[in-house]
Amino acid sequence: MKTAIIAGQGRLPAALAGAMAEPPLVAALDGFAPEGLTVDLRFRVERLVPFLRALERDGVGQVIFAGAVTRPRLDPALLDEATAALLPRLMQAMAAGDDATLRVVIALFEEFGFTVVGVEAVAPALLPGTGVLAGALTARDEADAARAADIVTALGSVDVGQGAVVAQGLCLGIEALPGTDVLLAQVAGIGGLRPDPARGRGVFYKAAKPGQDRRIDLPTLGPDTLRAAAKAGLGGVAFQAGSVICLDLDEMQRLAAELGLFLWSRA
């Protein structure tokens, strides 16, 4: 059974392709090409049904979603009749939030006979288990991570985000639609509102949303996250063990040591 990666931007699609026994077909939403990977098939949301039929013709039976996309602007002039019939369903889901949208996308692929699998089915090594992967934790770091985990759980329950920054029990920022890079840049610019770093520099914490479908949109960290956390003046990065994708974990560990950060896969 041929597998297709429905790819977005970033390095994750290439990491997945490299972990697969047979080369996948790579399909990408127009304008969201992945890094380091040749795209075999491009598509637009307005032509979703013809795209699904093209996957069928190519012998694809299994798909995996990987990479970052933002909500594209739809051009009604490009809609075909079959996709137009699905549009009210898609629009209703988009109005309800990211999780609802992704669940409808998965359902549509399944209705066309495709099996949708997650990263852990293809490349489980990308999801580290519990442990301190670099640096050392203090009691303050552990308390800040626990506080951040509570915040992320609350945010995720209303489909807002997957990350938060906490220092000495104070929430310095939460992740919303703009994403991790924007959050950490905002924290870097807080200035005088921050507590005394000598008593704990703080932590960036990332986790899956409660009850989310693990086959799509699991949170992702990489070396750039650690660089941004260091620029934000934080003490380290923690994440939910087994539920967060780490791109190039060896480099993340090396970089954490170089930057003086801890890296913690938290149970």
Identify whether residues 47 and 154 lie together within a single domain: no
For the cut 90, the answer to whether the pLDDT of residue 256 exceeds it is: yes
Identify whether residues 116 and 134 lie together within a single domain: no
Query: Which amino acid is it at 138?
Result: T
Domain boundary among 122, 154, 184: 122
| Bigger pLDDT: 81 vs 193 | 81
Sheet order of strands, 170-174 included: 131-134, 262-266, 236-240, 203-206, 163-167, 170-174
CA distances from 228 to 14, 58, 263 (A): 23, 41, 13
Half-sphere exposure of residue 55: CA atoms within 13 angstroms, side-chain side: 29
For position 13, which CATH number holds?
3.40.50.20
Q: pLDDT grade, residue 93 (50/70/90)?
A: confident
Task: Provide the token pair at 132.
Answer: 């301190």
Q: Give me Rg for the CA atoms of the chain.
A: 20
Average pLDDT of span 101-126: 92
Q: What pLDDT does residue 196 have?
A: 84
Residues 144 and 260: beta-carbon distance below 8 Å: no
Residues 151 and 203: beta-carbon distance below 8 Å: no
Identify whether residues 70 and 141 lie together within a single domain: no
Domain that holds residue 81: 2-122
Residues 244 and 214: beta-carbon distance below 8 Å: no
Q: What pLDDT does residue 198 have?
A: 84
For position 171, which CATH number holds?
3.40.140.80
Identify whether residues 198 and 212 lie together within a single domain: yes
pTM surpassing 0.85? Answer: yes
